Structure 1
Amino acid sequence: MAAATVGREDVQTRLAALRDDVLAGRGGALVLAGARGMGRTTLLDALPACGSVRFATLTGVAAESGLPWAGLQRLCASAGIAPDTVADVSLRGTALHQRLAERGPVLCLVDDAHLLDAESLDVLAFVARRCARSPVGVVLTTMPATPAVDRLAGLEVVRLEPLTHDESWRLVAARVAAPVAAELVETAGGNPSDLLELADALTAAQAAGRQPPPRSLPADGRGRGAVIRACRGLSDAARALVLRAACADPAETAGSACLLAADPVLAEAQRSGLVCVTSAGIRAASPALAATVYAAASDTERREAHDTLAATLDPQRHRASREWHRACADGRTDVADRIAAAADDNPETSALAWHRAARLTPPGAVRAERLRLAARRYWTEGRVGPARRLLWQAREHAPPGPTAGRVLVAAGEIELRDGTPEVAAHQLMLAAESLPADEAADAFLLAAEARRTAADGCGYAETASRAAATDTLVATHLSGMAAMFTRDHAGAATALRRVLDEAGGDVSGALCAAEAAMTLGRPTLAHDRAAAAVARARVGDQPTLLPTALFQFSLTSALLDRPHAAVEASGEGVALAVASGQRNTAAELDVLAGLAHVSLGDRDAALAHVASAQERIDRAGLRRAAAVADWVRACADLLDDRPADAFRRLAALFVPGAGRSPVQVAAIPQLVESAIRCDESDSARRALERYETWAESTGTGVWLALAYRCRALLADDPQAAEAWFRRAIELQRSGGMTLELARTELAYARALRRQRRNREARAVLRDALRLADDAGAGYWAAQIRAELRAAGDRAEQAASTSTENLTPQQERIVRLVVDGRTNREVAERLGLSRRTVEHHLRNIFVRLGVRSRVELVAVVADPPPRDV
């Protein structure tokens, strides 16, 4: 597929279907409506020929739009038929349709239909409405909001909307460095043609990210010429409105009267495609169009636009903006300090004000600092592209020393959250060399986070070692965490206890305290500190840390056996991270949500979250998230009764040098379970020894209980196993565990059943069922009910064959199975994968207490009587 059609796959499919309909004699018509550069022409050019279908092509020409029948004459020439001379539209349309059908199958591809003469367009519309059940088809493309759209009434219209961020990224990501791609995507505003022109115009330095990319369309490109022609074709009033929109930022004009205009003027400007009208007001269609329109205007036009904006903006809310526009109108450059003084008056325009103050500031350290402040505020708003661009500019002006270091810290944090963590770590380490001790410590803390995100244990240790020179609490924290990673539990405990005692009250301090508490085996305190970090990030001046705080809150919730809270926090965190341009953080939160879902037994939701994050994990090298994703997949394998697959996945996390250390210890209980179920007990014992060492060093009941459950599963002696189970249950009950306690009781009951102690097993299982139901864990409740039936529970046996508790999807699968369909046929009928059907059938067997498709058919066809 051509790069230029990225994001238009559904339209290509629709065009191909229409072509095939024409070949089959069914005919049809379609209108593609999209603004300049949205791919109308590209889609027609990309439509491949098929069989005997002929293409008759026509492109509207503005110079002939006033010549009656000019367009129709050219179409007939392309189709190889003689034009008619009758003046009546219906008679001429009927004759054209008949002649095309005789030459058919033929598909008419009419580009820029809005530029055709009215008579030709009316005839083509007449033909298009009558193509059904004939070997003729018509595709017309047009600009939206033009008179041509009204003439095409009654035809199916497909609107070519701006590309999404991800679609735009796919278009240019392979051509340029990732930060440059992000900037180009924002500049183009979803216009694929503009995006490709901007990418093609980059110099080598710009493509590599060493210099800022251009903001306006290339001088020799088709886009710039089209924009200028569109501007010149407007009335004076409409052109002035478009220029004001180009001069203004949407944040400063929302709700303002500065872009108001009479309805005809507004409609004219909108038809040009140069502005967009939204609920918030009028704005330029994209930053690239705004810069291009502004560059093409005369000095007089620009000054008039700025003067109008300065006169109409609210003097209280927009003090900095008024100073800027007044300075531009008067040609002054001496107001930078006044704009800077008012920059933080209005949070909605603070970034813009600092940016403008920087533009009017002479080169040097002050300009670099103002650019950095503007970038920080754009970053706070989630506008990653402008933030990166301004930091590039700041680096050019920052002298060596603290100013340059602060610029690098800001760039490194963005790289950590939305770029490549390995690159971020080096940026932040370099920044620390130029900063005072306290600021250097903050840079080292971010660098350490980048190392952990990339699962780089050696890099983390190096970061901790270099941070020691700052002699700060951050240095103590990093040394304690590094000691824990090297299994120096005593050294880690000493350092991390100090962190807990002395951590500050800001978001970063709360996050450090949460991490320290978790590592020391105090999960309840860790959860409390994570909650404090969330609260402080919501109301403080560090909103960019809120997704990270929610990550920590979700993690501690999951480890405290609160999966629903973990799911909710992760979901909020993903939404915030995406909105604030933190795609790496969003991916990490997504896999954490998957971990919470899989603990509830919700395999499909868990794997969906992992799949959602996988592309970002691969692109950015998020090896910590990759490890958690593999952990989730292994847990899903266990739910699907594929312990060998789970064991292989988990064992891979322990390969030396695999960079998977972040989850190695935490995943050991699942490794032990999978190893036991596929006769790898020796491997399970070796792994469990490591887990026990860690759990005992923390003295934490939550983790000791999991170790005891693993010991019970491994024990050959039934009495020893029972003793381990009881110890685990006691710890989990006293620790307020719910779902993990239910799972331990389920495992214990199975051991009792193997000893034919069914009565005791039933008592344990009834408590486990209550816990699983309370936790909203349907999968585990079904497992426990199945075990209760096997243990002879009469109430469960009586209810086991009822289909009332099946989900609608499960009921559909049951009906198809009873009708004799194979799993493959069921999958095709319902649009599912075979693996998904097999997963559903396993759950159905458990719920109905059957062991095969034969038993399922028998039970559903002839259910036993129910007690009344």
Structure 2
Amino acid sequence: MSGWPFLGRDDELMAIEAAFADGGTVAAVIGGPAGMGKTRLAKQAVTRLGAAGCRAEWVTGTRSAAYIPFGAVAHLLPERLPVGADRLGLLKAAAENVAGWSGPGRAVIGVDDAHLLDPSSAAVIGHLATRRLAFFVVTSLDGTTLPDAVSTLVRDGEALGLRLTALPSTAVDRLVGHSLDGPLDGASRKRLHRLADGNPLVLREVLHGGLACGALRRHHGVWRLEGGHGAGGRAAELIAGRLRDVDAGTRTVLELVACGEPVELAMLERLAGEAALSSAEERGLIAVEREGARIRVRFAHPLYGEVVRARLPAGRARERWRHLAGAALAGPLRRRDDALRAAVWQLEGGAVTRPDVVGAGALEAVGRSDIALAERLARAARDAAPGDDADRLLAQILVYRGRGGEAADVLPTASATGPARTRTAITEAETLYWGAGDVRAAERALDRVAGEPDEELARGLRSWILLFDRRCPEALEAARRVLATPGADPLAVTWAAAAGTTAAGLLGRGDEAADIHRRGLAVALANRAAVPWGVANVEYGLCLAHLGAGDLGRAQAIADRGYRDTVDADTPLMAAAWAGHRGLVEVARGRPREADASLREAVAALDDTDMFCFVRWCLAGLAGAAALAGDPAAARSWLGRADDRPGAAPRLFDPWAGRWRSWTLAAEGATGEAVAEARRAAALTDGAPAEEALARYEVARLGGAADLDRLGELADGLGTPFAAALSRAAAGLAAGDGAALAGAAEDLASLGQDLLAAEMAAMAGRAYRRGGLRARAEVTTAWAAELRAACPDAHTPLLGDLPVELLTPREREILLLATGHSSRHIAERLGLSVRTVDNALNRAYAKLGLAGRAELRALLPGVRPSSHGGR
């Protein structure tokens, strides 16, 4: 972090340089809060101007030198001072000395912390500026007073005034990237942004503190910020200084907010009093904000809470939590997060007086994707009030954490009655399937509640289990039954919608997948409070449906949006699942570098919260990414970790894992074994014809003889554009048919299948070249190079080297654009003149023997001519 680059202040730097060049401005005065980078900007400006040939000097105001007349500017005075010179004589001596400096134009002098200058040093600065002997770059801290000699320059309009505000988020991201040797997960990145609030000093201290205390550490190559970050250094000292002299009442307010942030205003007034609350607000330590119908109190900066908590004795902290819990439990718990907050305060205060509230808080913690906290609360509720309900709650949460064996030990064995009967059956089925991998036993547990009033919950879970068991037709039928039940439980509907959408996609029923998704999403949106994971689960289903159906463009858009939204909503586990989905799509698109980062983030976050065995899928995906990147050792290592993963492996993932295993073998040079493994993967796709089509096509991609008849049957049966494109591509590979290969490339490109499209275009170019169609080969190969640019890190046998013999890179670029755009449009897009574009086109046409755009368009099937016309 000591070598951070200069970032985010380019506009301010340019303004200072322009002020210097103007000649009429004598200074640039940079103000702003502590740690905002004022000194760094001033030093950068002085260094830049000095590098241009100007004499550059630096003056620093300090508290110790403030008592020494002329102490800060002693180096600006001549070595031999006039004997008996008074203050005026010393000013003249300084002016004569600076005037005698050599160099073009004015000298430039940086003055750091000008508010700490002694009066005599400030007079020298003002005197030199007034006589225009130097240009000054001055920094001062917000809330301080500049010496009159300097402030006069600003008032008289002779100085440029700049005030630094927060660094842009892009600059913060670059500084984080400069500090950490690897990616940072999205939830931690957002937290760093919130803590630093654009202040580079705070960012530096948070990063340093997090690394020092271990809160910022790497998991599977991904950095994560967990728990407190141990911020210290100058930032903590500045904050501690602000908190040092507060009175006892104000300190009570700060400690209560530190333990319960955010805290309702009315609650704080009851616990600490209005006077203390007003004092804390007037000092700028807390902020009172309206959140809907509530008025809540937070710290004015997140680091205030970190510093207060770090200095709060354990005994007094427990006392504050007990006060908060008592105040919360004294009133109604009506709002969504009331139970969770009251539960946490009881837990931290060491006195669980309302176990029912703690249990309700555990369920709310699940909804907020904090499963570790949910387990703590469930255990505390169970300790305070043992019983079947408490056992059932803990078992359910242990299943969510991927610890089915522990859940089975906790789950009550006595037959439940009433609504608890169905809930017990659901938890038992989840434990049996995701914990032990016994699908038949899980189904028998659900059969026991057939005919119960809320049996649609069991049906909804059944559809989910059937999907993961890769019985897509049965999963879809079970989902339909739930969706057809009037007034079905929202949880059952969201389970069924997620499973039904995915199953329909894998069966090639895109319209039905879209309809199920639409219906499920409407229910999930209307019941966010009751089913907090509903929206995410239904959207995961749509992403997987598009992934299975081969529409990677749509799958990517859904995954990117889901990841962004859940990071913004502070739901890290949901965001991690989206990172995994995004990574799986990126592997399919042939983007191994991006896939590696996304999948590592998912594995790091979900490693100990893996109910659906999703981590195994992500580990296998990392193997696929490594194989595509040409790193067989890493691919084999990731496969080994996937195979060693404890717990059952849902059959749904088998075809994907099999295909990535085949590519690992191919990367190792074992082509025959790779083809055999791809055939085995195709045999694992019963119940998922879309996956079978892709697995059978992989045989052809790896150099084997694909079953063209079966691919044709699958294409006809599925009726999806992807299945048709795969069948066409495999037939084109077998026949060496350039036109079929190019047509398949067009179809695949339209689906976002970047890698497969690039492969087909490359093979089409080779087929045309073998057939002596030189112009068609050249244009198609250029197109293949453009497609390959979307997946530059992928290496496959079909891509190989792309020979381009005739055209220059610029000619290829312009030629491809010319299939759909006018010369003027191309010129504007590339920043060229129209004449340059036309000249390049004429040269390309001559090399290829083409008469113009009409013949060019005929070489690339599917390209639409531009409405603007052109040569």
TM class, shorter-length? 0.5 to 0.7
Residue type at the aligned position of 2:597: A
Report the CA distance between 1:776 and its aligned residue: 5.6
The alignment covers a number of residue pairs equal to 715
**Distance in 2 (alpha carbons) for counterparts of 1:607 and 1:735:** 32
**Distance in 2 (alpha carbons) for counterparts of 1:654 and 1:203:** 29
Report the CA distance between 1:692 and its aligned residue: 3.9
SS of residue paired to 1:581:
coil
Report the CA distance between 1:574 and its aligned residue: 0.3
**Distance in 2 (alpha carbons) for counterparts of 1:711 and 1:428:** 42
Residue type at the aligned position of 1:665: P
**Distance in 1 (alpha carbons) for counterparts of 2:290 and 2:758:** 49
Contact conserved, 2:257 with 2:299, CA < 8 A, in 1?
A: yes
Which residue of 2 is the match for residue 580 of structure 1? 569
**Distance in 1 (alpha carbons) for counterparts of 2:232 and 2:667:** 62
Which residue of 1 is the match for residue 851 of structure 2? 866
**Distance in 2 (alpha carbons) for counterparts of 1:434 and 1:115:** 74
Which residue of 2 is the match for residue 154 of structure 1? 160
Correspondent of 1:730 among 713, 716, 726: 713
Correspondent of 1:539 among 492, 506, 526: 526
Which residue of 1 is the match for residue 612 of structure 2? none
Shift in alpha-carbon separation, 1:181–1:550, aligned structure 2, 3 A: closer
Correspondent of 2:623 among 630, 651, 654: 630
**Distance in 2 (alpha carbons) for counterparts of 1:833 and 1:127:** 58
Report the CA distance between 1:494 and its aligned residue: 9.1
Which residue of 2 is the match for residue 226 of structure 1? 241
Which residue of 2 is the match for residue 702 of structure 1? 690
**Distance in 2 (alpha carbons) for counterparts of 1:124 and 1:39:** 22
Residue type at the aligned position of 2:571: Q
Shift in alpha-carbon separation, 1:97–1:463, aligned structure 2, 3 A: farther
Provide TM-score, normalisation by structure 2: 0.57
**Distance in 1 (alpha carbons) for counterparts of 2:768 and 2:378:** 72
Contact conserved, 2:479 with 2:499, CA < 8 A, in 1?
A: no
Shift in alpha-carbon separation, 1:701–1:172, aligned structure 2, 3 A: closer
Provide TM-score, normalisation by structure 1: 0.57
Report the CA distance between 1:575 and its aligned residue: 1.5
**Distance in 1 (alpha carbons) for counterparts of 2:189 and 2:407:** 21
Report the CA distance between 1:578 and its aligned residue: 1.0
**Distance in 2 (alpha carbons) for counterparts of 1:369 and 1:37:** 47
SS of residue paired to 1:75:
coil
Segment of structure 1 superposing worse, 659-668 or 567-576:
659-668
Residue type at the aligned position of 2:711: A
Contact conserved, 2:59 with 2:112, CA < 8 A, in 1?
A: yes
SS of residue paired to 1:866:
coil
Contact conserved, 2:342 with 2:358, CA < 8 A, in 1?
A: yes
Give the unaligned 5+ runs of structure 1: 22-27, 205-211, 255-265, 297-327, 452-458, 638-644, 814-831
**1:608 maps onto 2:598 in alignment:** no
Shift in alpha-carbon separation, 1:768–1:838, aligned structure 2, 3 A: closer
Which residue of 2 is the match for residue 746 of structure 1? 729
Which residue of 2 is the match for residue 666 of structure 1? 656
**Distance in 1 (alpha carbons) for counterparts of 2:177 and 2:432:** 30
Which residue of 1 is the match for residue 285 of structure 2? 274
Report the CA distance between 1:86 and its aligned residue: 4.2
Which residue of 1 is the match for residue 817 of structure 2? none
Shift in alpha-carbon separation, 1:35–1:554, aligned structure 2, 3 A: same
Contact conserved, 1:810 with 1:844, CA < 8 A, in 2?
A: no
Which residue of 2 is the match for residue 142 of structure 1? 141
Report the CA distance between 1:570 and its aligned residue: 0.8
Shift in alpha-carbon separation, 1:676–1:249, aligned structure 2, 3 A: closer
Correspondent of 1:506 among 490, 499, 502: 490
**Distance in 2 (alpha carbons) for counterparts of 1:410 and 1:75:** 68
**1:75 maps onto 2:64 in alignment:** no
**Distance in 1 (alpha carbons) for counterparts of 2:684 and 2:618:** 22
Segment of structure 1 superposing worse, 559-568 or 84-93:
84-93
Correspondent of 2:559 among 547, 559, 570: 570
Q: Deviations over 1:598-625 (max 9, x none)?
A: 54x5x45x63354255356346644532
**Distance in 2 (alpha carbons) for counterparts of 1:633 and 1:565:** 24
Contact conserved, 1:358 with 1:370, CA < 8 A, in 2?
A: no
Report the CA distance between 1:738 and its aligned residue: 1.4
Q: Deviations over 1:284-338 (max 9, x none)?
A: 3135636989999xxxxxxxxxxxxxxxxxxxxxxxxxxxxxxx9xx99987556
**Distance in 1 (alpha carbons) for counterparts of 2:310 and 2:666:** 71
**Distance in 1 (alpha carbons) for counterparts of 2:640 and 2:259:** 57
Q: Deviations over 1:769-792 (max 9, x none)?
A: 563465365665565555555555
**1:691 maps onto 2:688 in alignment:** no
What does 1:174-253 correspond to in 2, within 5 Å? 191=202, 222=237, 225-228=240-243
Shift in alpha-carbon separation, 1:707–1:631, aligned structure 2, 3 A: closer
**1:617 maps onto 2:603 in alignment:** yes
**1:596 maps onto 2:572 in alignment:** no
Shift in alpha-carbon separation, 1:546–1:442, aligned structure 2, 3 A: farther
Shift in alpha-carbon separation, 1:537–1:400, aligned structure 2, 3 A: same
Contact conserved, 1:507 with 1:536, CA < 8 A, in 2?
A: no
**Distance in 1 (alpha carbons) for counterparts of 2:86 and 2:413:** 81
**Distance in 2 (alpha carbons) for counterparts of 1:608 and 1:194:** 29
Which residue of 2 is the match for residue 768 of structure 1? 744
Report the CA distance between 1:702 and its aligned residue: 2.1
Report the CA distance between 1:560 and its aligned residue: 1.7
**Distance in 1 (alpha carbons) for counterparts of 2:673 and 2:746:** 34
**Distance in 2 (alpha carbons) for counterparts of 1:633 and 1:557:** 23
Q: Deviations over 1:505-546 (max 9, x none)?
A: 434664367558968975647776666554433221223443
**1:680 maps onto 2:695 in alignment:** no
Contact conserved, 1:33 with 1:144, CA < 8 A, in 2?
A: no
SS of residue paired to 1:154:
strand
Shift in alpha-carbon separation, 1:411–1:705, aligned structure 2, 3 A: closer
Report the CA distance between 1:745 and its aligned residue: 1.4
Q: Deviations over 1:830-852 (max 9, x none)?
A: xx99967999xx89957x68699
Contact conserved, 1:557 with 1:565, CA < 8 A, in 2?
A: yes
Give the unaligned 5+ runs of structure 2: 18-25, 48-54, 216-226, 267-277, 312-321, 450-456, 608-614, 813-839, 855-871
Contact conserved, 2:28 with 2:137, CA < 8 A, in 1?
A: yes
Report the CA distance between 1:589 and its aligned residue: 2.1
Contact conserved, 1:477 with 1:516, CA < 8 A, in 2?
A: no
Contact conserved, 1:374 with 1:390, CA < 8 A, in 2?
A: no
SS of residue paired to 1:751:
helix
**Distance in 1 (alpha carbons) for counterparts of 2:439 and 2:124:** 73
**Distance in 2 (alpha carbons) for counterparts of 1:582 and 1:377:** 12
Residue type at the aligned position of 2:554: A
**Distance in 2 (alpha carbons) for counterparts of 1:564 and 1:428:** 39
Shift in alpha-carbon separation, 1:669–1:658, aligned structure 2, 3 A: closer
Contact conserved, 1:231 with 1:293, CA < 8 A, in 2?
A: no
Contact conserved, 1:243 with 1:293, CA < 8 A, in 2?
A: yes
**Distance in 2 (alpha carbons) for counterparts of 1:192 and 1:744:** 54
Task: Specify which structure has the bigger relative contact order, considering alpha-carbon pairs within 8 angstroms and separated by 6 or more residues.
Answer: 2
**1:286 maps onto 2:301 in alignment:** yes
Contact conserved, 1:357 with 1:370, CA < 8 A, in 2?
A: no
Report the CA distance between 1:725 and its aligned residue: 1.3
Shift in alpha-carbon separation, 1:579–1:526, aligned structure 2, 3 A: same
Residue type at the aligned position of 2:285: L
Report the CA distance between 1:391 and its aligned residue: 4.5
**Distance in 2 (alpha carbons) for counterparts of 1:88 and 1:240:** 57
Counting aligned pairs with the same residue, the percent is 17
**Distance in 2 (alpha carbons) for counterparts of 1:171 and 1:376:** 39
Segment of structure 1 superposing worse, 562-571 or 787-796:
787-796
Correspondent of 2:352 among 344, 361, 364: 364
